[in-house]
Chain A
Amino acid sequence: MSPEIKGLIIGALFGAALYLGGLADPDKIIGTLRLKDLHALRTILLFIVTGMAGIWILDGLGLAHYDIKPTIWIPVTLGGVFLGIGFGMSGYCPGTGLACAAAGRIDALVTVLGMFLGALVYILIYPSVIVPLESFANAGKVTFTDATGIPRFVFGISLIGLGLAALTLTMREPKPDTQG
């Protein structure tokens, strides 16, 4: 199968699941960030735990294709902060922004346009700002196991445990207050 068709199929499944699961809904995202509506939080937790367990199994079968991002401490942390601010302002991130725009949300479409401008800013300042920022405090493309020497199953089991504990703890939805 050509990479184009593969991308289109996996993307379509992902887009449909983001929509059906309520992640492509800014109200569900803002509700989770405000800790008033934990549906999205619980969905994301199970998404991560299921994916992690599956990748672990694929790895055992020799079928996993990894794409580990580099841990360059300062830009990765700052990037999380910038994305977090935009996420909290709008309730969108890149994938859900595309999905929400497709579902008829005009504000998401405007956010997607902003994203293309954000990408352009990144390209324009890349040579002068990003290159020097990435030249230090770079731990490389590492996993928890690479960084600590502690075997994979310790992290795998702990993350599954933490995920299940968090799902149990958030079983009772917090009462939304209408006063604000």
Chain B
Amino acid sequence: MQDLMVKRAPLPWWAAGLLLGAIQILAVAAEKPLGVSTQFVVVDAVILHKTAPEYSISHPLISQEKYSRVGYGFWLDVGIILGALGAALATGGWKLRGLPVWAKANRQSVPVRLGIGFIAGILILFGARLAHGCTSGNFASGLSQLALSSIPFAAGLFGFGMLTAMLFYPKTPAIEPDKKGDT
């Protein structure tokens, strides 16, 4: 039943937290705090500028300079994909799969999981832009900068995140504990 157990992460929490914090500091020193979600709108906007130029140049959002071409933020997102791919390959964790363990424990089939994932994706990005930032930009970076917006955002995010997870994943699978000495 190895595939029905949630595996521990490659790094212990303290190493992962310090590493992510260090990357945040580097990003703030080099350009600006970490953020991911704007670029989904930029990619859509660049396509719209090509396919519907008249609509795009009169649009109050995507006619703006920031949304009409790709730059630092776009390449950051490309970097995330490459970095995760490299880390997964290097640790032997790269695996084609469609079901997380929690989904298996709660009897989701692959088609159901993909349907849930697609609808979740729409809500995730729409919500992130509505709030001007996602889990990275408005929560982690927001709180690190002591931004007021991180408070109502985090309340909505974790309040409804916990509630929704309770509804979709009532059954708990076995979870591999962190190594002794890591906690």
Contact of B41 among A25, A39, A48, A123 (CB under 8 A): A123
Contacts of A3 in B (CB 8 A): 31, 71-72, 75
Contacts of A21 in B (CB 8 A): 9-11, 13, 15-17, 19-20
Q: Give the interface SS of chain B, mostly helix, strand, loop or mixed.
A: helix
Contact of A110 among B114, B129, B141 (CB under 8 A): B114
Given contacts A63-B29, A69-B138, A173-B177, contact A89 B120 (CB under 8 A): yes
Chain B, interface residues (CB within 8 Å), range? 35 or more
Given contacts A69-B132, A99-B80, contact A118 B123 (CB under 8 A): yes
In the bound assembly, the distance between CA atoms of A115 and B17 in angstroms comes to: 26
Given contacts A70-B132, A81-B127, A88-B164, contact A127 B98 (CB under 8 A): no
A111→B172 contact, CB < 8 A: no
Q: Give the interface SS of chain A, mostly helix, strand, loop or mixed.
A: helix
Cβ of A149 to closest chain B Cβ, rounded Å: 13
Does B76 lie at the interface of the complex (its beta carbon under 8 Å from any beta carbon of A)? yes
Chain B interface residues toward A at CB < 8 A: 6-11, 13-37, 40-41, 43-45, 48, 59-62, 71-88, 91, 93-103, 105, 110, 113-114, 116-138, 140-150, 152-175, 177-178, 183
Given contacts A95-B136, A99-B81, contact A77 B156 (CB under 8 A): yes
A51→B141 contact, CB < 8 A: yes
In the bound assembly, the distance between CA atoms of A111 and B119 in angstroms comes to: 7
Contact of B16 among A17, A49, A130, A139 (CB under 8 A): A17
> Can you sample 20 A-B contacts with CB below 8 Å?
A3-B72, A16-B84, A18-B83, A21-B11, A23-B20, A27-B100, A39-B9, A48-B143, A50-B25, A51-B141, A79-B129, A79-B156, A88-B167, A91-B102, A93-B128, A119-B125, A122-B130, A123-B62, A130-B61, A144-B146
